[in-house]
Structure 1
Amino acid sequence: MNWYCDIAPGHPFHGPYHDHEYGVPIQDDRALFERLCLEIFQAGLSWLIVLKKRPALVTAFDGFDPAIVAVYDEADIERLMVNAEIIRNRRKIEAVIGNARRILSIRDAEGSFAAWINRHHPRDKDAWVKLFRQTFAFTGGEVVGEFLMSIGILPGAHRTDCPAFVRILDLDPPWRKAGSSV
């Protein structure tokens, strides 16, 4: 997504995300879950729509706290389906709820979603996609690829001449291996 380095600077929505979040390693399970959910909501839509609706999505999904979202029931699904401020797609909403439940299972087994990701690193994109499809709902190649680029696992989020690339290189995520890129 190297073109992102060209369009994002100065843009009111893309700019802050590109400069401060995209490609930045994350270890917080809530933030990881949010990022996965945003990528799921983006499927078939533009990233700009997701960024514009992000504050409402965060509010509607209780801050993307997996422990809260995991206990959502049919009444919550109906509440979300009538919320005009968010992306209202029943399959995506149900996937988010199911994925929250899966993350709780992963936490029980691995200690955290971040630990699960770290344990499986490194892998190539195809292996990641296979793992995510076996583990989570609504996680095709684009969703998984963008999710993993957005959290600094897969390379390609920024060009080497992008100021964000240099800032991210200074970070020291647990999975950083010699020679890996942002």
Structure 2
Amino acid sequence: MKEPSRSLHQNYHDNHYGFPIHDDNELFGRLILEINQAGLSWETILKKEASFREAYDNFDIQKIAAYTEADRERLLGNPGIIRNRLKVNAAIENAKTIMHLQKECGSFEKWLELNHPKTKEEWVKLFKKTFKFTGGEIVGEFLMSIGYLPGAHDASCPVYKEIIEEKPMWLK
């Protein structure tokens, strides 16, 4: 792995992967990134993360839920992100879904908490029923990356101890 790639992965691994996220917009942003990773390398997504953040209004759920056809075309024309119509449509529709979950449960995070604990298979079934473009890999990685499923780090990893101290949901 080249040095910039190693640094990119190292930063994500050491500071983000497996750590709980308590902000709905950031949770949604992670879901957008995981959906866009489908069929691509995580490195590609990490390199484009800042562009995703800019293109998708800093992952602001309310703004994205209100996107128009012009916004959809703007995203599809943006070379800084993944220009896949299904993935762009999923981001917009999933923002609308999360707004509904926020009204129903108080927040996206609370919805996740109310559905915890589940096996990976149960989570996948729930996500496929609730959200667009969410298969087994996407759901599994999303939930591991935010602390809802174990597996982001093993016990021999130095970051594991930090994550345990933050009390991820799979420990509760």
TM-score by length of 2: 0.95
Whole-angstrom CA distance in 2 between matches of 1:163 and 1:26: 20
Give the letter aligned to residue 106 of structure 2: G
Higher helix fraction: Structure 1 or Structure 2? Answer: 2
Equivalent residue number for residue 160 of structure 1: 155
Residue 101 (1) aligns with residue 91 (2): no
Cα 1:174/1:47, change in 2 over 3 Å = closer
1:56 to 51, 54, 62: 51
% identity of equivalent residues: 53
Whole-angstrom CA distance in 2 between matches of 1:117 and 1:109: 12
Whole-angstrom CA distance in 1 between matches of 2:72 and 2:161: 42
Whole-angstrom CA distance in 2 between matches of 1:176 and 1:69: 32
- Structure 1's consecutive aligned runs of 4 or more residues displaced over 6 angstroms after TM superposition are none
Equivalent residue number for residue 79 of structure 2: 84
2:143 to 120, 139, 148: 148
Deviation at 1:12, TM superposition (A): 1.8
Deviation at 1:176, TM superposition (A): 3.5
Equivalent residue number for residue 25 of structure 2: 30
Equivalent residue number for residue 169 of structure 1: 164
Give CA deviations for 1:125-157 in whole Å, capped at 9, x if unaligned: 000000000000000000000000000110100
Deviation at 1:27, TM superposition (A): 1.6
**Contact map agreement 1:99 1:136 (CA 8 A) in 2:** yes
**Contact map agreement 2:144 2:151 (CA 8 A) in 1:** yes
Give CA deviations for 1:100-137 in whole Å, capped at 9, x if unaligned: 00000000000000000000000000000000000000
Deviation at 1:85, TM superposition (A): 1.1
Number of equivalences: 170
Deviation at 1:174, TM superposition (A): 6.1
Deviation at 1:172, TM superposition (A): 2.9
Whole-angstrom CA distance in 2 between matches of 1:141 and 1:89: 19
Note the residue ranges of structure 2 that are not aligned, 5 or more in a row.
none
The root-mean-square deviation of aligned C-alpha atoms, in Å, is 1.6
Note the residue ranges of structure 1 that are not aligned, 5 or more in a row.
1-7, 178-182
